[in-house]
A and B are shown apart, each in its own frame.
Chain A
Amino acid sequence: MTDERIYLSTDTPPAEPAALVDDFTPTLITQANHHLCPGCGEPIAIRAAMEAVEELELAQSTITVFGIGCYTAFAHNLDVEVVQALHGRAPSVATGIKRMLPDGFVVTVQGDGDMVNEGLQEVLHAVARGENITCLLLNNGVFGETGGQMTTTTTLGQRTKTSIEGRDPHQHGHPILLSDLATTMDGAAYVARCAVNNAGNVARTKRYITRAYESQMAGAGFSLVEILTMCPTGWFVDTLEGPDYLQDTLAPVHNIGELKTP
């Protein structure tokens, strides 16, 4: 057997400097480091959201409003303007901003615990008002930040720290499928659900976010992109199993696709 490995010579300095994580970081993300777990899907979603801002040349009119969850760590890693809101309260804060700056581009970043548990009422009213903002829902089916408890998007049978034997509809109720609900409401202009568990889905995520942004730019009304994200830590699975777990546990219930277009 021949040894096909390539041995690099260390006798001479490399012709080019080594590539750093920074080199692969979109310009609107200012620091390569973040505090999120290995295998977490949230940085991928936020990356797509920032790339779309850049590509649509919205960097200088964007204000993002962050909820509270693991993604909150990213509020300090962006080169777009940020307002940090409370847990669940980003849509009302975003509304106040958009009403005072109708030409501003306003995006919320929230989790399932944030948007569908604590903040359900306000996101639904924002939809009903047809508020011309874009809400990004990072749905991992758990409260990641507090350590993997059940949220309302946890699927039936899914095990969490507060549904130890799996979510049982008699005891824990049924999941709320927020995007499907929003689709039925008149104020919703664009609603889509995607995921970041494989390359195809990441590309789709970027595409859907871009369409949502375009809908806000056109003044069409409320837009929502729900992104299923991996949370190996909160799911208690190995990092590498995250994408498959998402496919098997969340995706069959929270259907991927464009649910409503202008």
Chain B
Amino acid sequence: MTDRVLIEGSEAMARAAVSAGCRFFTGYPMTPFTELLEHMASLLPEVDGVCMNAESELEAVGMAWGAATTGHLAATGSTGQGLSLMQESLSEITNARLPLVVFNMARGQGDYFQATRGGGHGDYRHIVLAPMDLPEAVELTRLAFELASRWRTPVMVLGDYYLAHTYQAVSAPSIEGAAPEVPDWALNGSSGGSGSAKIISPLGGGTDGEEGFDLGAHYAACAAHIQEMSAGVDPLIDIGFCEDAELVVAAYGSVGKFVRYACLRLRDAGHRVGYVRPITLWPFPSEAVYDAVTGSAKVAVYEQNMGQMVDDVRLATMGAVPVEFIGGPSWDHSGFGIGPDINVPDISERILEALK
């Protein structure tokens, strides 16, 4: 770590990725993801890494998939729409048990379901981390690579326009330092001719001596792994003022930071409001949410969408406390989710309304 510098979110995340050992990045320009790609393109060559300007998001995720099979830390990303194009691969990469970090610099918060429900076909989940600001994005980017390696799974960092484009003073991660060692399962060709050459496949691994592959057994193993991951990944959450709160407000990401601030001001004014800000969106910190809200009379969920995380909050509270949705799609006419709906007076008003 060096001293604090004023730095753009995209650059901070790019530096954090390289400092975590990322050596391959690829993407296709799309606002507000573009700058992450640009920063990776300038940083990776400095550490003998590779950054590719892919010809589409389909190819970007394919290239990242290939790079990941070599055991080097790989990442890609886009904005929601581009992520939609990548979903077929993200589903199968999860089944192929490959580490990969995926950035979604989303437009607004409409991609919560896409991120947390397994946005592609099939039956899978992967880890999702939602930072609220640059310092947290730096930490969570590092954590994303760590979790991806430990669990051999895609991990998504779900950000937005604010995160990608805001400048903030942070301790800029140094990009010097060695990348982690290449793990044993990685391919480099050398197991060829040994009688049991390695295979990395979403359809399952080698079946020494047996014929073909057993998809039933493979999918059962994938399901068991996802179960293990959902129990084994520490759920992260930021909780404030919930002990004596009448109303708890739930929100995530940059929007969560505004909600947190609104709650702080409302507390100052004597209102008994608290907040919960889930940081791991999958696995969702259900127990912590339950514990935090059960003493209150109501939970209000503020999201910049038609109501997505609200489903997880309802599942977490299990009917113990009524849950009301107080968010809505962004009013922003640019479509980037940077509208006047994310401002403290407006959010406070909605919270006060829910308190009535």
Contact = CB atoms under 8 A, between A and B. Distances in A.
**A and B assemble together:** yes
Contacts, number: 158
Nearest to A66: B201
A81 B66 contact: no
Q: Is chain A's interface secondary structure helix, strand, loop, or mixed overall?
A: mixed
A109 interface: no
A123 to B, nearest CB: 10
B73 to A, nearest CB: 10
Given A59-B192, A95-B52, A101 B58 contact: no
Contact of A96 (B68, B191, B201, B213): B68
Nearest to B187: A81
A175 B312 CA distance: 50
Most buried by A among B193, B198, B201: B193
A27 B193 CA distance: 8
B206 interface: yes
B190 A60 contact: yes
Contact of B193 (A75, A80, A83, A105): A80
A76 B212 contact: yes
Interface in A133-186: none
Interface in B61-99: 61-70, 72, 74, 88-89, 92, 96
Contact of B65 (A53, A82, A93, A99): A93
A122 B190 contact: no
Contacts of A98: 66
Contacts of A30: 195
A227 interface: no
Interface residues of A, number: 43
A53 B192 CA distance: 10
B2 interface: no
Contacts of B201: 75-76, 82-84
B203 interface: yes
13 contacts: A61-B188, A63-B188, A80-B192, A83-B201, A92-B58, A92-B61, A95-B59, A96-B64, A96-B67, A97-B187, A100-B67, A100-B70, A101-B189
